[in-house]
Amino acid sequence: MESESLKNLRNLVRLRPIFQMLLQISRETGIEIYLVGGMVRDALLGRESRDVDLALSGKTLETALRFAQKTGGTYVLLKEEKETARVVLPGWTVDFAGFRGPDLKSDLGGRDFTINAIALPFAPAFEEREWTPFDPLGGMEDLGKRILRMCGPRSFLEDPLRMLRAFRFMSQLGLTIDPETRQAVKHGAALLAGTAPERIHYELKVMFSQAECVRAFRVMDEEGLAEVLFPDLALLKAIDQKGYHHLDVFHHSVLTLQSLEDLLRGRIEIPEALRKEVEAYAAFNGNLPALKWAALFHDLGKIDAVIETAEKTTFYGHEEYSLKRFEVLAARFRLSHQEKDLIGRLIRMHMRPHFWVNEKRKGSLSRRAILRFIREAGEELSAVFLLSLADSLAAQGGEKPKDTEELLQTLWLEAIALRDEVVRPLEKNSPLITGRDLIALGLKPGPEFQKILESVQESYMDGEISNRDEALALIKGKFLNKKAKV
């Protein structure tokens, strides 16, 4: 009996003009077309997909080109020798590939995982008879059991990236990797080092974009794949921490990632105002994977900054060392400038809220210091606090004060209040003083102009001045008199 998920997919295929066009081309050429891969898998899981994978019995490139011409899509030749091409349409991507062998069974046997080796004959979707999947490797049963299983013993040898893809699917679909497949990862992990970095970056980005990836990362570490990808991170296992910490640097970093995901998913309670900040930030494209990268690598530089004595272990300035090591990592995996800059900013600033907590305990935290940081952090203000809170939650050493998370959240609330009440209104309004005013006062244009304008702005935000006349008086007293004395 045809399942409800297959009925839904059949209705989609029948109604969409692009599939009707494929049927017409198939009938004209006499070739067999099969729906395979992600679209079939996702349909069986009740997930929507607009990435269409097709396996063809012949005339693959000719069919793809003909389809592109009839639909107005963009034709992209992927690999001529392997007869693979792509047609891009608004909202849809259609991949055409010839059989990887003499027949469909051979083709499916050469794929990565059994859940992606289920084929649906295309033409019967438009007929009244039952639409029956061709599933020689038991992919539908594995889907039902939520198991990820490689198609055969050579699966990872043919393409080592499939090992990393296994953990992406684990995160993306909530699957468990079967023991034999895990063992194959352990034996073949070193092969991943020879894979194109752009392909690795893509898999990591998709993995870190999921709501939960820490479970998959822990299994990656157990099977040796994490060390192949991130050898610097693996070195942190040898660095014990004292005082605030209860774990070595590596396991603290992984726990920080888990704490971040717990905060993002609401498993750790925070005030409603902060919850809204977190949800708004994480919803913006690219921010979620950036947070995951930053959580995992925020302490990467502790290996360079460690100073150990009998009494304590310190890592002064480790955030700057972490930033330098991360930048090397970002270059290796071809992260975009935007990704590298965003993640780098989070890593560089993650200690600032911790310093503020200490200042607040001593009663020496100034409003001006917070305002400066609000302007420096910009749109990443709440992301920095979120990362710092996750970092703190992952540190449960005996010397850590018990009010640390409470104070971090209090400071976070104070910071967003100042941002909304002082900084953002100021950014929207015209400045009290401009460079022309400074020239009119007799000052010569130069690097000092920016310092003067920032000083005026800070004084306004700090409540020391409230209008243009007071700003001019401040400049005359603070800068003109200083020059006159010189």
- Confidence at residue 336, expressed as pLDDT on a 0 to 100 scale: 95
Question: Distance between CA 418 and CA 413 in Å, rounded?
Answer: 9
- Confidence at residue 484, expressed as pLDDT on a 0 to 100 scale: 44
Question: Which amino acid would we find at residue 91?
Answer: G
Which pLDDT band, with edges at 50, 70 and 90, does 148 fall under?
very high
The token duo for 266 is 């609401």
How do the residues of the chain divide into helix, strand and coil, expressed in percent and rounded to 5?
60, 10, 30
Question: Distance between CA 285 and CA 41 in Å, rounded?
Answer: 25
Percentage of the residues of the chain whose pLDDT score is greater than 70: 98
Closest residue by Cα to residue 107 from 50, 60, 44 = 60
- Confidence at residue 297, expressed as pLDDT on a 0 to 100 scale: 97
- Confidence at residue 1, expressed as pLDDT on a 0 to 100 scale: 65
* Cα 378 to chain centroid, rounded: 20
pTM, rounded to two decimals:
0.87
CB 96 within 8 A of CB 58: no
Q: Average pLDDT of 115-131?
A: 92
Please name every residue paired with 480 in a beta bridge, in sequence order, or none if there are none: none
What domains can be seen in the chain, in order of their start residue? 1-145 (3.30.460.10), 146-229 (1.10.110.30), 263-427 (no CATH), 435-485 (no CATH)
- SS3 of 233, please? helix
The token duo for 131 is 């639409």
- Confidence at residue 278, expressed as pLDDT on a 0 to 100 scale: 96
- Confidence at residue 482, expressed as pLDDT on a 0 to 100 scale: 59
- Confidence at residue 473, expressed as pLDDT on a 0 to 100 scale: 81
User: Is residue 432's pLDDT more than 70?
Assistant: yes
Q: Average pLDDT of 195-212?
A: 95
- SS3 of 304, please? helix
Question: Distance between CA 174 and CA 433 in Å, rounded?
Answer: 56
Closest residue by Cα to residue 182 from 163, 200, 201, 197 = 163
Average pLDDT taken over every residue of the chain: 90
Q: Cα torsion at 183, 188, 189, 193 (round to 10°)? A: -170
Q: Is 32 exposed, middle or buried (0-12, 13-18, 19+ CB in 10 A)?
A: middle
Which pLDDT band, with edges at 50, 70 and 90, does 481 fall under?
low
Which positions ≥6 away from 411 have C-beta within 8 Å?
353, 356, 357, 360, 370, 385
Which pLDDT band, with edges at 50, 70 and 90, does 29 fall under?
confident
CB 34 within 8 A of CB 119: yes
Which positions ≥6 away from 288 have C-beta within 8 Å?
208, 209, 264, 282
**Interhelix angle 381-393/287-297, nearest 10 degrees:** 40
Number of C-beta neighbours around residue 152 at 10 A: 17
Which pLDDT band, with edges at 50, 70 and 90, does 486 fall under?
very low
The token duo for 213 is 């990836």
Question: Distance between CA 369 and CA 387 in Å, rounded?
Answer: 20
Q: Strands (DSSP E) along 203-351, which ranges? A: 307-308, 313-314
